[in-house]
Amino acid sequence: MFANLFKQFVYVQLSPQRLAVRDPVKQVSISEVPEIAIRKTPGEKARVAAVGSAARLAGSEPHTAVHNPFAHPRSLISDFTVAELLLKAFMLRLRGNAILVPAPVVVMHPLGEQAGGLTQIELRAMRELGLGAGASKVRLWEGPDLTDEQIMRGQFPSTGCLHE
């Protein structure tokens, strides 16, 4: 019982149209378009200007490009580096002003129909994506939406597929 007392969990549902990040313990979530605006002015390093729906507005500024790293006709992740920046930004927004937060267990849930299921490369990319965004452990779920209770207890329905 006490094993999960200090654990933090994050449930990530991703698709080209929506990125949803949820803390099942606090029952707080962020769900927006998976877009990120990156500003690269001459002579400076590229930096994140905005994420989510604010990215489109920031994209109209000079030297700023808007990317959706999950929009690709053949693969779930089209740009790994940008996807990692986007997920990290969403997870930071979810955390809020908290200072000492343990690295969460992240349950990644790709939405939509992947013809033939996910490839080993896509599974590994999603695992690495979660770890790069700050997860202590990443679990990959293919199946119906999960409840907060299922995530916190680690009990996944038999109607889907869990990749550890």
Q: Which two tokens stand for residue 28?
A: 């707080």
Q: Which H helix or E strand runs over 55?
A: helix 54-58
Which of these ranges, 1-10, 39-48, 63-72, has the smallest mean pLDDT? Answer: 1-10
Q: Which two tokens stand for residue 147?
A: 């409840």
Mean pLDDT confidence for 29-44 = 94
Q: Which residue has the tokens 């740009």?
A: 79
b (16+ CB within 10 A) / e for 84-110 = bbbbbbbbeebbeeeeeeeebbbbbbb
Cα separations in angstroms, 38 against 3, 33, 64: 40, 15, 5
The pLDDT tens digits for 67-98 are 999 998 888 899 999 999 999 999 999 988 77
Confidence (pTM): 0.90
